Amino acid sequence: MIGRLLSERYKILKYLGGGMSSVYLAEDIILDRNVVVKMIKVDAHDEEKSRLRFQREVQSTIQLSHPNIVNVLDVDETEEYQLLVTEVVDGPTLKQYIKENHPISIEESVNLAVQILDGIEHAHTRGIIHRDIKPQNILLDGENRVRITDFGIAKALSETRMTETNQVMGSVQYISPEQAKGQNTDERTDIYSFGIVLFELLTGEVPFSGETPVSVALKQISEKLPEIDDYRKIPQGLKNIILKCTEKNPADRYRHVDMILEDLRKYDTIDTPYMHSDAEDGSTIQTGKINPVPKVPGPSEDPAAGPPEKKKSRWLWLIPLLFMLAAAGLGAYMMFTQEDEVTALIMPDFQGISLEAAEAGLAEHQLEMGEVIEEYNDTFEAGEVVETRPRSGVTVEFGTAVDFIVSAGEEPFVMLDFTGENFSDIQEQLNEINFNRIDLTEAYSDSEPGTVLSQSIGPGEEIRPDEHNLQLEVSRGVEPVEIVNYAGEPYETARDELEQNGFNVTVSQELYSEDVEQGAVISQDPSYGSFLPGSTINLVVSIGPEPPQNMLYSTTVNIPYGEEEDADEDDEENPPKTVNIHVEDANNPDIDEVFETFEITEDTTHTVRLEIEPGETGAFMVEVDGEEVIDEEIPYEE
């Protein structure tokens, strides 16, 4: 059931428990919130009618909106179940709270009682009777506020799968006498149950208990309430309220909840013991002085007894019949002939109890143990009865052999093989399997990071996940490799070692180096550290010392104009003379060729530039009008 999606909306997360229904925590995937889903199976023999009755009864509870009532959010159905969806109340049941905090102070007990009554009154004024008031159906939220749940379920079920057998609803320790006898009920049945709850709230104990549900039901019908003072001294006003709420005759109880609330407000002002009126003769007697139930008399043979005695005999004959009706209300219905001879019974309901308890119940009802069949079941604990054959509610003869379908617990989960899967892809699936705990360890491998390498529970093993821890070894990916600095090492050595460790090697630069011999590594990037194989390592490799460079020579020479020729005094400047410059260097091998020519009219300075190769000599020559005036050689200098 875990992980199942109901009504395309409610994803089942966790089993919470059972009673009248199977209760699950679920996620409302539409509104993105957690809810409680109660799954209730209706009578398969009158399915359509049962569904309609259920829908009618439970739909009415949606109108209940009160701080002390758990909100019903939705009513739906599947092919198998009726669904009741309620809000989640984060807190204990009143049953748990009493167990953990007893004794609870008078003031707090009264406060809780008032809240319970406020919730019940809200429902009663809208025509809704709970019929299953008990501490297990009363929750306390984070603010210690009372929240009553399961309004309408008891009536809905009593009109569906339980009508034919007159099965009584509610927990037997809290049901009213009229419920135990299978009689009609009204709001006073909730008042009786509230009185039992208040008794337990103040004393920490339930007033009636027994070895079997039948014996407890008989006490609800016939026995007086135990003396409260034997458990705890409480104000007389509170004792009076409990006693009036738990009167055996509904007519002697409070008629409406608001009457209880009124008495609760003034409980500390009352010191007079409670007196109740006998419904038979109208006389007033002290509470608890009810005479024991007389034994059934034999047939009267006294003719003088007359009609009145016969009437009395008929009344006495009804008393054990009421006991039998109480047993019937709990699944052991006795069928009588007109002569009062017991011939058969209604098959009791053993669902949810242990096989040992069921076996004792068979003996109690004069039935025989038949075949015991174990089946996996995720609703009932291992060893609990799932169903019987014949089924509960049918008429069976005494001595009938009853076969039991007994839960073997949840069906074992066949372990899957998660190796090779990425953990992120299977994480949600693992959470749904609901292991007790999942532990992860990481290890380097050639697999992608997150890949499951191994698992502690082998594929195919049958397990109960919630009883096992699962250890998964997950890949961290390839282990990083530490590199060394290869500066000064031969390039081939660096390349071979790096490639052997899975790195890519590139020569990013080749540079001259005076210090690193040719073919050796000058530097690398990255220079050191741990890196994943497949990373690229860039090397700078030496190509040896840089060879000598051409010498660039530059000199400024003074080119003389020479003697001035005769000219007229009126001439403003000398006539121009032609200057030819010849160069011999790396770029001009023939000095006979004119490198540059220009004219001058006076002494002129000029810069001559040469590029001289290593070991060579450069030269230049300057001619003015064909006459050599400068001739120089320049040797190469480093």
pLDDT at 127: 84
**CB count in 10 Å sphere of residue 430:** 16
Lowest mean pLDDT among 40-49, 163-172, 424-433: 163-172
Cα(526)–Cα(508) distance, integer angstroms: 12
Burial of 271 (0-12, 13-18, 19+ CB in 10 A): exposed
User: For residue 95, what is the DSSP state?
Assistant: H
- Does residue 325 have a pLDDT over 60? no
pLDDT at 238: 96
Listed residue (378, 445, 427, 433) closest to 407, CA to CA: 378
When pLDDT is cut at 50, 70 and 90, the band that residue 322 belongs to is very low
Q: Is 420 helix (H, G, I), strand (E, B) or coil?
A: coil
Beta bridge partners of 25: 14, 36
CB 387 within 8 A of CB 405: yes
pLDDT at 44: 52
The percent of residues above 90 in pLDDT, for the chain, comes to 55
Q: Per-residue pLDDT tens for 239-254?
A: 999 999 999 999 999 9
Mean pLDDT score across all residues of the chain: 83
Average pLDDT over residues 455-472: 92
Q: Per-residue pLDDT tens for 267-301?
A: 988 888 887 654 433 333 333 322 233 333 333 33
Lowest mean pLDDT among 126-135, 248-257, 271-280, 555-564: 271-280
Listed residue (451, 493, 501) closest to 476, CA to CA: 451
Average pLDDT over residues 582-593: 94
Listed residue (384, 354, 355, 379) closest to 17, CA to CA: 379
CB 442 within 8 A of CB 453: no
pLDDT at 291: 29
The percent of residues above 70 in pLDDT, for the chain, comes to 82
pLDDT at 411: 85
Range(s) within the chain of domains with CATH label 2.60.40.2560:
552-635
Q: Per-residue pLDDT tens for 598-631?
A: 999 999 999 999 999 998 999 999 999 999 999 9
Q: Per-residue pLDDT tens for 103-123?
A: 999 999 999 999 999 999 999
CB 357 within 8 A of CB 331: no
pLDDT at 170: 40
User: 331-407: which CATH topology?
Assistant: Trypsin Inhibitor V; Chain A (3.30.10)
CATH architecture assigned to 413-477:
2-Layer Sandwich (3.30)
Average pLDDT over residues 568-572: 58
Q: Which two tokens stand for residue 586?
A: 């790396």
When pLDDT is cut at 50, 70 and 90, the band that residue 305 belongs to is very low
- Does residue 306 have a pLDDT over 50? no
- Does residue 543 have a pLDDT over 80? yes
When pLDDT is cut at 50, 70 and 90, the band that residue 91 belongs to is very high
**CB count in 10 Å sphere of residue 105:** 10
**Residue 7, CA distances (Å) to 21, 224, 492 in order:** 18, 48, 70
- Does residue 46 have a pLDDT over 80? no
pTM confidence score? 0.47
When pLDDT is cut at 50, 70 and 90, the band that residue 568 belongs to is low
Q: Per-residue pLDDT tens for 162-177?
A: 333 333 334 789 999 9
Domain 481-542 in this protein, CATH class: alpha beta
Catalytic residue among 132, 150, 349, 585: 132
Range(s) within the chain of domains with CATH label 3.30.10.20:
331-407, 413-477, 481-542
- Does residue 542 have a pLDDT over 70? yes
Lowest mean pLDDT among 20-34, 60-74, 328-342: 328-342
Lowest mean pLDDT among 385-389, 394-398, 626-630: 394-398
**CB count in 10 Å sphere of residue 619:** 17
**Maximum separation of any 2 CA atoms in the chain, in Å:** 196
When pLDDT is cut at 50, 70 and 90, the band that residue 82 belongs to is confident
- Does residue 470 have a pLDDT over 60? yes
CATH architecture assigned to 552-635:
Sandwich (2.60)
Range(s) within the chain of domains with CATH label 1.10.510.10:
5-276+307-327
Q: In terms of pLDDT, which residue wins out, 447 or 378? A: 447
* CA angle in degrees (0–180, nearest 5) for 121-127-128: 75
CB 443 within 8 A of CB 473: yes
Lowest mean pLDDT among 81-85, 174-178, 227-231, 244-248: 81-85
Cα(36)–Cα(85) distance, integer angstroms: 6
Alpha helices in 137-212 (DSSP H): 153-158, 177-180, 187-203
Cα(236)–Cα(451) distance, integer angstroms: 71
- Domain 5-276+307-327, CATH: 1.10.510.10
Among 213-222, 332-341, 448-457, 563-572, the range with the most confident prediction by mean pLDDT is 448-457
271 is an active site residue: no
Cα(417)–Cα(407) distance, integer angstroms: 28
Among 5-14, 266-275, 358-367, the range with the most confident prediction by mean pLDDT is 5-14
pLDDT at 128: 87
